[in-house]
Structure 1
Amino acid sequence: MKRPRLARLAVLSIMLAAGLSLAACQHESPQPWQLTDIAGHMPDLALSLTDDQGKAVTAADYRGKIALLYFGYTHCPDVCPLTLAQLHVVMQKLGTAADHVRILFVSVDPTRDTPAILHAYVAAFDPRAVGLTGAAAEIEALTKRYRAAFSREPGKADGSYEVSHSSGIYIFDANGKARLLATPTDPQDKMVHDLQLLLNTGSGT
């Protein structure tokens, strides 16, 4: 991904985080979170896609688990592999508690990202990561639901292409409620701290 596109995506992510941070400041009581608190400012987890085993799934399939929702694609040259590697380290630091967490990697390139390709990709990073795909309209609707953005770049002579996309990591509690927003640049310990809080209090309420 070229530097201008990376810079643009970084600005998009910062603007999203900043806007949600300002909204979150309206809470009167102090918050224990180290990441951006988005409770009440983002909708519950809701999706209807196909997982990397070829099975139709909805948000109900992940109830009881903390869900880390991330939009990306397997041909991504930089941000996606770095983010998944970061999340893998976070999962390792959580220890056995990570069994109650799922990384939901939603492809913004459904044309190329088949369930089998997604499975091989996410499994290379963490066994608790799930690849999700679906029709282009379903993916677009889901990104709009969470104010994410993506766009396919012009194709190259060899037929390859890249997809610019925002890089927010949306964290939902075990009841599917939107709770936190992280970015790939957030320190791992901040994510570990907040995930432990959610895990230790069930839904995090």
Structure 2
Amino acid sequence: MTIRRFSTLASRLGAASLAAALLVAGPAAAAEDGGLDRQRLRQTLNAMHEAGMYGTYSNVVDGRRSWKGAAGVADVETRRPVRPEMVHRAGSITKSFVAVAVLQQVGKGTIELDAPIGRYLPDLIPGERGQRITVRMLLNHTSHIANHTEVIFPTIESLDANRFRAFPPEELARAGLGAPATGSRG
């Protein structure tokens, strides 16, 4: 798929579909010699920006080879450019990465999907709750543990006030666990 055709296609896609289209366009943009095709990676970032993303950056690692790049602006008012080394909160997409990592461990036999979560996190989720909620329930969002974001960010103002604060994972988990359950598990 040429970059021009990709740009036309990307302009018709929503932001959520853009990432999927990038994966279809070419995984990790491998060059013919087996290395990273840095020009193609750069063109892909530029195409995302041209398709309407304000700014984007990427870090591609393939064994010992790596590439970092950026396109567009980080701030639409000041026009400050995006830099490849910028720090960004991953947000909801984190759930997909965690699920993949857990499923890889399931595949290796180190985690069981239907095991109680208390087996793996006894200090974090002790007692009956830790025995009744399974790993599978956490992954498919049927544990009904409350979302920590409503606890930590109860107002729009709190989002802005805490935007540069780093939260330890245990603090986020305890915030969700400390709130009332959102329903019955399972």
TM-score (norm 2): 0.22
Bigger relative CO (Cα 8 Å, ≥ 6 apart):
1
Point out the structure with the larger strand share. Answer: 1
TM-score (norm 1): 0.21
